[in-house]
Chains A and B, each alone.
Chain A
């Protein structure tokens, strides 16, 4: 059956990219704040740097898509010209979200700038001064960016979940699902970029080299975090379906599009669950357990190292697709 979608692919891609950017930035900020002076930061400096660089870019692209989808794109600034305090007595999630996007883009860009190698870019005293200033600003910016990133990830779900007339979206676990998915896709993007950039050992001067044991250790931590997040996401998806299925009225009817026999069942079970979650979890889990249980050194084939994050990113996009489309082709039942 052909459906009329009011929110189409730009919205789906936006939700995915906003989650990805927020997740990458949250990971980066948490790594920076974990141990600002100690060894961990040095070891994971690459993760923090890549996360900071990845953070703002998808959100800016997604915001452009979002504005493109508006009926009147050139009026997007109307979201900000109305009184700032308006959002406190009419708390529309989209109004809050527009401010989150604005602050996110500004602060994430500033945060990314603190990671630029200023000393290499600007020679002389000026570069050294900027480098020192950037290093001083890094932790304070991370303090601002981590809550902003988490707020951003939650807002993308609350935007959908705030509407009672869309029973598939109107569920209290949607924010958890989107936040977990955001962090796992952000982490996957970091791992993917890290792998592409360091295909040849020593590709970036001054950074940690691939043959450096620290690189391997940080990757081990990242991948184990990712597998834990995938397991968490599976649990939350289970809760999401269970909540909807146990509801007597419209939500039960709406969730049938995801269950076997529904219109989106194939996309959901193959795209999201199998390709996006189960396959990467099993493959990565195998190599992780080999290290954790048998004590082998952590290493794996390049193909798997690249394809597992791509599968997770694909699963994240498919999750947004299934939720956004499924919410729109179902609705309140009864008259």
Chain B
């Protein structure tokens, strides 16, 4: 196994090196336009900036909406009452014979193009170059909540105890001790898979490659790193006329999804 993975990595590195060399020769030899094209080309297979990019895949076919991840997150991160770093939305739709319910677990998407980082006036929130996680430096944050407005997913909030902007940090204290995030650890149906999205040998990479996956609010161009299998895109605001849809966010501070 290790032998195979080593060879795979070295082959990837080799191809990358060759590719970069070719690009360099091309830019040196030809013109600025070629350089521009080379710069626009994605660095890795997934098109993300970082070599290591931690992310999460949520297999909604296995999600039962039990909120165990919500509770685990609250316990792990000591999140105060009234706010949540991770929660599960319920979507009910249809009429009696053809009624259904689907679940949508939400957490910080750790986007590769994060809007929250762009608007932060102090540089307190930033993208870690070594693993692509978006974190908040609580020594710098002033709690202006500009980032909370900028996030299209509404995952940021003002922590009523510490008075800083707060959000999911992918349990950074756990993953650097070789553990998985608390929500992944506790998930009853093993619906959540955590790992390096860019590592071709990781479980999450293989599952993303094999399954049709989707991300939330893709049109905002944030390039989220939380993927869903079997995502139900039904929403109260975009339902068909006559269709019955009810969304329960299960979030105290935002009863509506928007």
Chain A residues within 8 Å of B, Cβ to Cβ: 1-2, 4, 6-7, 70-72, 75-76, 78-79, 82, 86, 90, 92-95, 97-98, 162-166, 249, 253, 328-335
Given contacts A6-B158, A71-B143, A82-B140, contact A98 B258 (CB under 8 A): no
Contact partner, A334, options B141, B148, B237, Cβ 8 Å: B237
Contact B123 A165 (CB under 8 A): no
B165 within 8 Å of A (CB atoms): yes
The docked-state distance in angstroms from the alpha carbon of A4 to that of B160 is: 13
Smallest Cβ-Cβ distance to A77: which chain B residue = B142
Interface residues on B, range: 35 or more
A6 partner residues in chain B, CB cutoff 8 A: 145, 148-149, 158
Contact A82 B122 (CB under 8 A): yes
Contact B115 A335 (CB under 8 A): no
Contact A93 B119 (CB under 8 A): yes
B254 within 8 Å of A (CB atoms): yes
Smallest Cβ-Cβ distance to A249: which chain B residue = B219
Smallest Cβ-Cβ distance to B165: which chain A residue = A71
B220 within 8 Å of A (CB atoms): yes
Given contacts A1-B255, A71-B142, A75-B142, contact A334 B233 (CB under 8 A): yes
B7 within 8 Å of A (CB atoms): no
30 contacts between A and B (CB under 8 A): A1-B255, A4-B253, A6-B149, A7-B145, A7-B149, A71-B142, A72-B142, A75-B142, A76-B142, A78-B140, A78-B142, A79-B142, A86-B123, A90-B120, A90-B123, A92-B119, A93-B119, A94-B144, A94-B146, A163-B149, A164-B150, A164-B152, A164-B220, A165-B220, A329-B256, A331-B256, A332-B258, A333-B258, A334-B217, A334-B237
A2 partner residues in chain B, CB cutoff 8 A: 255
- Residue interface mask B146-157, A partner, CB < 8 A = 1: 101111101000
- Residue interface mask B230-255, A partner, CB < 8 A = 1: 01111101100000000000000111
The docked-state distance in angstroms from the alpha carbon of A253 to that of B258 is: 11
The docked-state distance in angstroms from the alpha carbon of A221 to that of B217 is: 51
Contact B152 A94 (CB under 8 A): no
The docked-state distance in angstroms from the alpha carbon of A86 to that of B254 is: 33
Contact A331 B154 (CB under 8 A): yes
The docked-state distance in angstroms from the alpha carbon of A162 to that of B141 is: 20
Contact B146 A4 (CB under 8 A): no
B101 within 8 Å of A (CB atoms): no
Q: Tally the A-B contacts, defined by beta carbons under 8 Å.
A: 112
The docked-state distance in angstroms from the alpha carbon of A150 to that of B217 is: 35
The docked-state distance in angstroms from the alpha carbon of A294 to that of B11 is: 89
B237 partner residues in chain A, CB cutoff 8 A: 253, 333-334
Q: Tell me the smallest distance from the CB of A1 to a CB of chain B, in Å.
A: 7
Contact partner, B235, options A70, A93, A163, A335, Cβ 8 Å: A335
A332 partner residues in chain B, CB cutoff 8 A: 152, 217, 220, 258
Top 9 nearest A-B pairs (CB, nearest first) are A71-B143, A331-B258, A94-B121, A71-B163, A165-B152, A95-B121, A333-B237, A4-B253, A75-B142
A79 partner residues in chain B, CB cutoff 8 A: 121-122, 142
B152 partner residues in chain A, CB cutoff 8 A: 164-165, 331-332
A7 partner residues in chain B, CB cutoff 8 A: 145, 149
The docked-state distance in angstroms from the alpha carbon of A92 to that of B146 is: 10
B232 partner residues in chain A, CB cutoff 8 A: 335
